[in-house]
Amino acid sequence: MDVIVVATANKGKLEEIRQYLAGTFTTFLSLTDFDESVEVIEDRPTYYENAWKKARKVGNRFGMATLADDSGLEVEALHRSPGIRSARYGSNDRERVDRLLAELAGVPFEARAARFKAYLVYYLPRLGQTFMFYGELRGYIGLERRRDGGFGYDPVFMLPGSGRALSELSLEEKNLISHRGRALARFKKFLSA
């Protein structure tokens, strides 16, 4: 039985990771499956270092193979904000999206380019080894919120050429093209090598 701990408290991330790796691991545990809570303060200057910190802390606490994801949204017109502060941009998804739309008020459609970045860190505590996998997705921030779906900034993240927001895709469709899906594809390839 292959067990993996996904070091996240974000249900949206967990569902995407679980869907992608369903044939690879048999059991997925996340932070809510343990009685003991592990708090990781994400105070590092890069996504990679924050993902590394989450994977190491959780993996060492439970002694199991652990995967952490640190991700964020970078908007060109906002000088790549919210970036590594994407989670702290508001206290819930609604507030974060409202703030983003407010900060972009008056910015024309063609100047709203954005990209999502995802860094995955896989940590094997018994071997003391860490591995990193990266993926990104380019698009633009829409003028208004689209249908609910996915999580986080998905309702305003528009895919180039399709007129659709990420929130309008199924989990499987999102995983085929997203920043996280691309990083997961690299992780899966690494596992099968």
**Active-site residue numbers?**
70
- Give least dist CB 69 to ligand ITT, A: 5
Residue 96 or 182 with smaller CB distance to ligand ITT: 96
Pick 142 or 152: Cβ nearer ligand ITT: 152
From the CB of 39, what's the least distance to ligand ITT, in Å? 10
CA distance 2 to 146: 38
Residue numbers of the site for ligand ITT (CB under 6 A)?
Answer: 8-10, 13, 42, 69-73, 86-87, 96, 116, 150-154, 178, 180
Residues 6+ apart with CB under 8 A from 145: 97, 101, 155, 156
Compute the distance between CA of residue 164 and CA of residue 82 in angstroms, rounded to an integer: 22
Candidates 69, 42, 35; CA nearest to 55 is: 69
Supply 141's token pair.
């921030």
- Name which of 11 and 189 has its Cβ closer to ligand ITT: 11
**CB-based closest residue to ligand ITT:** 152
Single-letter amino acid code for the residue at 41: I
